[in-house]
Structure 1
Amino acid sequence: MSLKKDKWEMPYKPAKEFKKRVAYFSMEFAIHQDLHIYSGGLGFLAGSHMRSAYELKQNLIGIGMLWKFGYYDQQRNEDQTLSTNFVERQYDFLEDTGIEVEVQLHDNPHVKVRAYKLKPETFGTVPMYFLSTDVEGNDHLSRTITNHLYDANELTRISQSIVLGIGGAKVVEALGGADIYHLNEGHGLPAFYHLRDQGVTKEQMVFTTHTPEKAGNEERDGRHLNRCGFFGRVLSNEELQKEMIHGGMINYTISALRLAKISNAVSKLHGVVANDMWKGYHGISKIIAITNAQNQKFWQDDKIKKAWETKDVDKISSRKKELKRKLFAEVEKQTGKKMDPDALTIVWARRFAGYKRADLLLFDQERFIKMINDTEKPVQVIWAGKPYPMDYYAIDIFNHLVRFSKDHKNLAVLIGYEIELSRMLKLGSDVWLNTPRITREASGTSGMTAAMNASVNVSVNDGWIPEFEKNKKNCFVLPEGDFQKPVWEQDEFDALNLYDSLEKDVIPTYYKKPATWQKIVMQGISDVIPEFTSRRMATDYYKKMYNI
């Protein structure tokens, strides 16, 4: 595809090794607390990528969605259980580019999509373009497409993919086109179909798959998608047959894997899992591993960084106590509970989903209560995270933890898990707890930023952890069970090993061997930087995906 009408504006001359023009599509980006267009890990990852691309002077732009109501505001009901609230957002720091394109949605061939620009100087990212259908001239239903991130209505979700994919591709075309089009997860799949029809070759399309979870690998009826305008034009029956699997379905991940020249999983273990998952489908691209990472400059506390660089263990310890007090002020504000900055503080905080097992500590309540009631070696636990607003199982787990914590002064469940609270928890925790069922957490990056901030990972050996872990030297890792066993047996195995690890290793080391604890803290920081920073990741994408 020839480049035309060149409006591709970078705030710098791109570095030689990063000169290829790349358009990076993602349904969510966690850039800044004040830009509420993200839900969880996918957004945090994409936001860090945009920051590191800017720091490295890469010739890359971001394409996302301008969600009018964001994901949701996490609030409480009268009994402190979870309440979801949707508030309209306005962002005066975004610039109306004047770029307006049209996409066909269902029977409407003229749905307008307008692009708004986030300038690099605002938050330190590459130029980013956010798409909205809340545009004068669109009918009411069309204007609501970009209201809610991951809308529960199936037709709206399909429309959102078309807006991100085809609308986003047309915006890139209006900017002059790209050398490489990168889909971060399958949500923007229509981009690949549109681009193929415009003469963009397979060599210009790359794809990242993020999860082995079924919900993250959307699959919908092919004929229905065809009627909705998913492919950018109406495919003939013969054309559609070539795209469908499972008796008439379109799997977004499989289609993206087939259309891309190369794809990547987001950790080495996920690379093994992903290749095994999709090996039976013909025509898919090679799947390599590029492990997810996070932006050090954005996430790491400056004083902890300086103390680590000078190997000043005492300064890290004193700074940690300051940061714990800041976190505990938030705990008291939300729950009325006063926590002790000298006590071992365990944090479980991430997107709430059943397989992540926020409630694993409660598997044997009697044993857990005995642990947290030990006055000689006190333990405090804080949970935080956002369930998907229609995931009633995850919401029930959240509410169960709320009710359980009411009876214990050293347990708390926080709301408002967004960038600011996430940072506060990572800075204020002693232990960052990670308990997904093995093979189901493709990467999981929160433990990386926790380690940067002198928090010790206690984790199952899943996602990125196998690439990082030196058990009892930079973290504590639980023994691996058989992931093919029934869920109940997996949970029992992991819970008992978690109690053993806490009772025999983690808690005694913190209280009785403080020098050893600080050594583990320092080693954790040293091992996470630079290998698990997004400068490495953003460089890998050019080396292993874009430039090949």
Structure 2
Amino acid sequence: MEVRPSLPPALTHLNELAGNLHYSRSRAVRDLFDRVDAVTWAQVEGNPVRFLQLVPQASLDRAADDSAFLAELAAAWRGFEEHCADQRVGALDSVIGADATVAYFCAEFGFHESLPIYSGGLGILAGDHCKAASDLGVPLVGVGLLYRQGYFQQCIDAEGRQHPRFEDLEFSHLPIRPATRGSAPVEVRVEFPGRMVTAQVWEVRVGRVVVYLLDTDVADNTAADREITHRLYGGDRRRRLEQEMLLGVGGVRALRALGIMPSAWHINEGHAAFSILERVRELTRDGLAFDPARHAVAAATLFTTHTPVPAGHDTFAPDLIEAHVQPFLADLGVDAPTVLSLGTDPAHDGKHFNMTALALRGSRQHNGVSRVHGTVAAQMSQAFWPEVPAEENPLTHVTNGVHVETFLNRDLTRLFDATRRDWRNHLHEAGIGELVERIDPARLWSMHLSAKAHLVDDLKARLQRQSERFGEAHVRLKQRCRVLEQPVDDFLMVGFARRFATYKRAGLLFRQRERLARLIETSPRPLVFVFAGKAHPADEPGQALLKEVHELSADPRFAGHVLLIEGYDMGLARRLVAGCDVWLNTPEFPMEASGTSGQKAGINGVLNLSVADGWWAEGHDHREGVANGWSISPTPGAADRDVREADDLLTLLETEVIPLFDRREAPADNVPEGLPLEWIAWQRHAIATILPRFNASRMVRDYAERHYRRAIDAGRLLAQDGYRAARARADVEQRLATHWAGVEGKVISAPGSIMRQGDSLTIEIETTSPGLPPQSLRCEAVLGDGAFRRIVVGELIESTDEPIRGRHRIQLPEDLAGEVDYWLRIVPTHETLLHPYELGRMVWL
């Protein structure tokens, strides 16, 4: 039996605040619940919905009679209303347009630990994307799945073995509600082989953004189908395919059932790529041919790829795909091989249906999530545009960022509020780093030590729970916590928390164990390395890494200096990124697409010690006398890369990190114990350089301005006049497939080998293109190579129809000097292009 309290009228707003994940980013809102009853708040682990179901009536009654509390509640409510207001400074409504909506599809969303439907970085990034969209007024709706058992809860036994624990979520305990249209709950049905599967639609409110989640655990379905949405990334290949069909096809149908007609579609990783087929099916069912429909859909679609790791790109057996798309073929008007061809990866054997390939072919804009990753992803995808150099193909990048208010520690949030009340509206501006430039060093250090002390208390409590479950003697726990018992300003804490995937190399620190042991023994300040993270239940090498760290934590040389903390989630992550002194990241270059935990650490003044991969390759800022962390140069291709990079890691710790932390100012007035002033200067520099560049507001602004607006315009262009431009685009691609091999060009005139400044630098080219009008071709000159590269576009100056010839003129720029190399080429062009080389054809002369 559960006896629930009645909410006093004076506290009505608490119920509304609990039902909106605005609380996940607002400390002011979370603090309200803690003020009402700290014991219950700790018991429910920060879940306000469950809190209001379990809190004693007496606690609510006291709060209702507390004028100071009511004033705080009123202030938090005003802040929530202001956040959800239609007009706010810096909003992007005008960029997107009042009549447009962006649909954002993702397999997981990480908003807060109270809604555990995420596994790691992809989901938390998606959650931050939605929060920033709400901040900026981007008219965005999210689409995902509601997992009855989430990912898994992690338990590590006394031998270091990970045990996944799956428990059903009680939806009435979560900040979700059934989605309705009018008063009727919304359900959708999706065809699966031999049956229909029904999904209920739920909604999650995140500020002013709504995310819709599909759930198959409904009475209409068979027992097997009710389990489609039970576990995130669980089950066999068939179950994974069923989840992705539901997400893509069912997600589109859910939006239609709700009356939402997006103008732009963002597919966040390939899991949702079947949304492309469903949208094509909608058009073909209404009479548009398959190829024009495919181009119309692609024009309004953006695809973001998040990893170069093969396991992150789902593939399925063709016969499994064929069985699942069979019910759609009649509406699509094509055969199964045509659909299967959309998922063929030309760089591989073609024996699998690749979701990334489907997403690339079904979108016209594509991006990686850091500068390094954009380059790597373009190289990986080069076979989709085989005649175009990888560095010029359409796959670009938008570097990830983090939602600042979600991960910024409490004291820094209060400092920013006191320094500049509207700082949240200006995160995309370079000058926002000035928030910390004038702060007193002693105050900044005190705020860091406060966050570190909170982390230490949490770690000790977690270690005690682990020790009790292991049945260990108290002396073992005491040994494990011996460094944590020392003053927090005295020991250096290094954090490593993320998925335990092998490419992230959690064990790199331990490659030279004797040297690490000597470093720990001789360090002038105690060292403690804190590890946390989950390995996928099917990832045996990742679980072996967890076991290795656990065993090392019990090694007498490392006991108390190496800690493995179980149960990694967003709550622990927030404490770690705020309270550690150094954030360690050791991925195998170039496998870290972005990585955002280091960004979260950096905005809190935690210094990064990382391989120069992902975001850190562009984020590391080292100036004379100050930096925002340390960078380990990767050695890709070297047979002993792990040995080299482990050596560099330990060398940096020994010669730079530890000495910088150890240097303290001599005791002075008002600073009796001295301060690590150089370290504090680096902390300030970390916040000032990372905060403006790597926040989610900047990221979403980039997406809106570079991609969403263009997708909206392109989608509308191809849909105009009965899809005239979509039909024209399909015709052009068919002509190119038939006639491109016959395109030729010859140089009619060009500058001599020696030219004088002021001479005319003109090149004329004659093209021959049977089956292709000269107007569909563009001639270009590519000047220079390497870091210096300029492309000069020519113009068509005359053409003939019989034979089909064109004369093109390229006027080279007047500012050329010295030796200049140039190359000439011909590419196709069309009015529908969003990228000059997206047609994938190129002839070099």
For normalisation by structure 2, the TM-score amounts to 0.61
Counterpart residue number, 2:369? 266
Q: Does the 8 Å CA contact 2:153/2:166 hold for their aligned counterparts?
A: yes
Q: Does the 8 Å CA contact 1:193/1:231 hold for their aligned counterparts?
A: no
Task: Provide the C-alpha distance between the structure 2 equivalents of 1:356 and 1:116, rounded to a whole number of angstroms.
Answer: 35
Counterpart residue number, 2:132? 52
What are the ranges of 5 or more consecutive residues in structure 1 without an aligned counterpart? 1-9
Q: Given the alignment of the two structures, is residue 528 of structure 1 paired with residue 699 of structure 2, yes or no? A: no
Counterpart residue number, 2:509? 361
Counterpart residue number, 1:474? 627
Q: Does the 8 Å CA contact 2:106/2:272 hold for their aligned counterparts?
A: yes
Task: Provide the C-alpha distance between the structure 1 equivalents of 2:521 and 2:148, rounded to a whole number of angstroms.
Answer: 45
Q: Give matches, 1:8-87, under 5 Å.
A: 13=86, 15-19=93-97, 20-79=100-159, 81-87=161-167
Task: Provide the C-alpha distance between the structure 2 equivalents of 1:346 and 1:479, rounded to a whole number of angstroms.
Answer: 16
Counterpart residue number, 2:190? 103
SS in 2 for 1:462: coil
Q: Does the 8 Å CA contact 1:190/1:232 hold for their aligned counterparts?
A: no
Q: Given the alignment of the two structures, is residue 204 of structure 1 paired with residue 300 of structure 2, yes or no? A: yes
Q: Does the 8 Å CA contact 2:159/2:550 hold for their aligned counterparts?
A: no
1:228 deviates by: 2.2
Matched length: 533
Match of 2:536 among 382, 388, 407: 388
Task: Provide the C-alpha distance between the structure 2 equivalents of 1:402 and 1:242, rounded to a whole number of angstroms.
Answer: 47
Q: Does the 8 Å CA contact 1:166/1:232 hold for their aligned counterparts?
A: no
Task: Provide the C-alpha distance between the structure 2 equivalents of 1:96 and 1:452, rounded to a whole number of angstroms.
Answer: 36
How much is the aligned-residue C-alpha RMSD, in angstroms?
2.0
Q: Does the 8 Å CA contact 1:304/1:454 hold for their aligned counterparts?
A: no
Q: 1:231 to 1:41 in 2, by over 3 A?
A: farther
Match of 2:687, as an amino acid?
A: I
Q: Once the two structures are aligned, what percentage of the paired residues are identical?
A: 30
Q: Give matches, 1:311-460, under 5 Å.
A: 311-335=439-463, 336=477, 337-338=481-482, 339=484, 340=486, 341=488, 342-374=490-522, 376-407=524-555, 408-460=559-611
Q: 1:187 to 1:456 in 2, by over 3 A?
A: same
Q: 1:422 to 1:230 in 2, by over 3 A?
A: farther
Match of 1:490 among 636, 641, 645: 641
Counterpart residue number, 1:300? 408
Q: Give matches, 1:99-138, under 5 Å.
A: 99-108=186-195, 110-120=196-206, 124=207, 126-138=209-221
Task: Provide the C-alpha distance between the structure 2 equivalents of 1:212 and 1:230, rounded to a whole number of angstroms.
Answer: 31
Task: Provide the C-alpha distance between the structure 1 equivalents of 2:687 and 2:211, rounded to a whole number of angstroms.
Answer: 31
Counterpart residue number, 2:315? 219
Q: 1:67 to 1:125 in 2, by over 3 A?
A: farther
What are the ranges of 5 or more consecutive residues in structure 2 without an aligned counterpart? 1-82, 87-91, 180-184, 284-295, 417-434, 464-476, 665-675, 711-845
Q: Does the 8 Å CA contact 2:313/2:356 hold for their aligned counterparts?
A: yes
Task: Provide the C-alpha distance between the structure 1 equivalents of 2:115 and 2:685, rounded to a whole number of angstroms.
Answer: 34
Q: Does the 8 Å CA contact 2:629/2:686 hold for their aligned counterparts?
A: no
Query: Which sits farther off after the overlay, 425-434 or 375-384?
Result: 375-384
1:223 deviates by: 2.9
1:479 deviates by: 4.1
Counterpart residue number, 2:426? none
1:233 deviates by: 3.9
Q: 1:481 to 1:451 in 2, by over 3 A?
A: closer
Q: Given the alignment of the two structures, is residue 195 of structure 1 paired with residue 279 of structure 2, yes or no? A: yes
Query: Which sits farther off after the overlay, 163-172 or 464-473?
Result: 464-473
Task: Provide the C-alpha distance between the structure 1 equivalents of 2:164 and 2:275, rounded to a whole number of angstroms.
Answer: 32
Q: Does the 8 Å CA contact 1:223/1:248 hold for their aligned counterparts?
A: no
1:238 deviates by: 4.2
Q: Does the 8 Å CA contact 1:15/1:57 hold for their aligned counterparts?
A: yes
Q: Given the alignment of the two structures, is residue 139 of structure 1 paired with residue 287 of structure 2, yes or no? A: no
1:359 deviates by: 1.1
Q: 1:12 to 1:193 in 2, by over 3 A?
A: farther
Q: Does the 8 Å CA contact 1:162/1:230 hold for their aligned counterparts?
A: no
1:247 deviates by: 3.1
Counterpart residue number, 2:335? 236
Q: Deviations over 1:526-547 (max 9, x none)?
A: 1111211000111111111111
Query: Which sits farther off after the overlay, 267-276 or 12-21?
Result: 12-21
Match of 2:323, as an amino acid?
A: R
1:249 deviates by: 2.1
Task: Provide the C-alpha distance between the structure 1 equivalents of 2:171 and 2:522, rounded to a whole number of angstroms.
Answer: 49
Task: Provide the C-alpha distance between the structure 2 equivalents of 1:214 and 1:421, rounded to a whole number of angstroms.
Answer: 29
Q: 1:153 to 1:312 in 2, by over 3 A?
A: same
Match of 2:314, as an amino acid?
A: E
Task: Provide the C-alpha distance between the structure 1 equivalents of 2:561 and 2:355, rounded to a whole number of angstroms.
Answer: 44
Q: 1:167 to 1:11 in 2, by over 3 A?
A: farther
Task: Provide the C-alpha distance between the structure 1 equivalents of 2:366 and 2:535, rounded to a whole number of angstroms.
Answer: 29
Task: Provide the C-alpha distance between the structure 1 equivalents of 2:326 and 2:270, rounded to a whole number of angstroms.
Answer: 13
Task: Provide the C-alpha distance between the structure 2 equivalents of 1:231 and 1:318, rounded to a whole number of angstroms.
Answer: 63
Counterpart residue number, 2:761? none
1:248 deviates by: 3.4
Match of 2:118, as an amino acid?
A: Y
Q: Deviations over 1:205-244 (max 9, x none)?
A: 1110000000011122223212123884475144135323
Task: Provide the C-alpha distance between the structure 2 equivalents of 1:162 and 1:81, rounded to a whole number of angstroms.
Answer: 34
Task: Provide the C-alpha distance between the structure 2 equivalents of 1:125 and 1:444, rounded to a whole number of angstroms.
Answer: 27
Q: Given the alignment of the two structures, is residue 94 of structure 1 paired with residue 142 of structure 2, yes or no? A: no
Q: Given the alignment of the two structures, is residue 153 of structure 1 paired with residue 236 of structure 2, yes or no? A: yes
Match of 2:367, as an amino acid?
A: N
SS in 2 for 1:538: helix
1:11 deviates by: 5.8
1:152 deviates by: 3.4
1:374 deviates by: 2.8
Counterpart residue number, 2:736? none
Task: Provide the C-alpha distance between the structure 2 equivalents of 1:157 and 1:537, rounded to a whole number of angstroms.
Answer: 29
SS in 1 for 2:522: coil
Q: Deviations over 1:121-153 (max 9, x none)?
A: xxx361111111111110011100000000131
Q: Given the alignment of the two structures, is residue 543 of structure 1 paired with residue 621 of structure 2, yes or no? A: no
SS in 2 for 1:396: helix
1:416 deviates by: 1.4
Bigger-Rg structure (1/2): 2
Q: 1:266 to 1:230 in 2, by over 3 A?
A: farther
Task: Provide the C-alpha distance between the structure 2 equivalents of 1:440 and 1:327, rounded to a whole number of angstroms.
Answer: 30
1:313 deviates by: 1.9
Q: Does the 8 Å CA contact 2:595/2:614 hold for their aligned counterparts?
A: yes
Task: Provide the C-alpha distance between the structure 1 equivalents of 2:519 and 2:495, rounded to a whole number of angstroms.
Answer: 15
Counterpart residue number, 2:652? 501
1:327 deviates by: 1.4
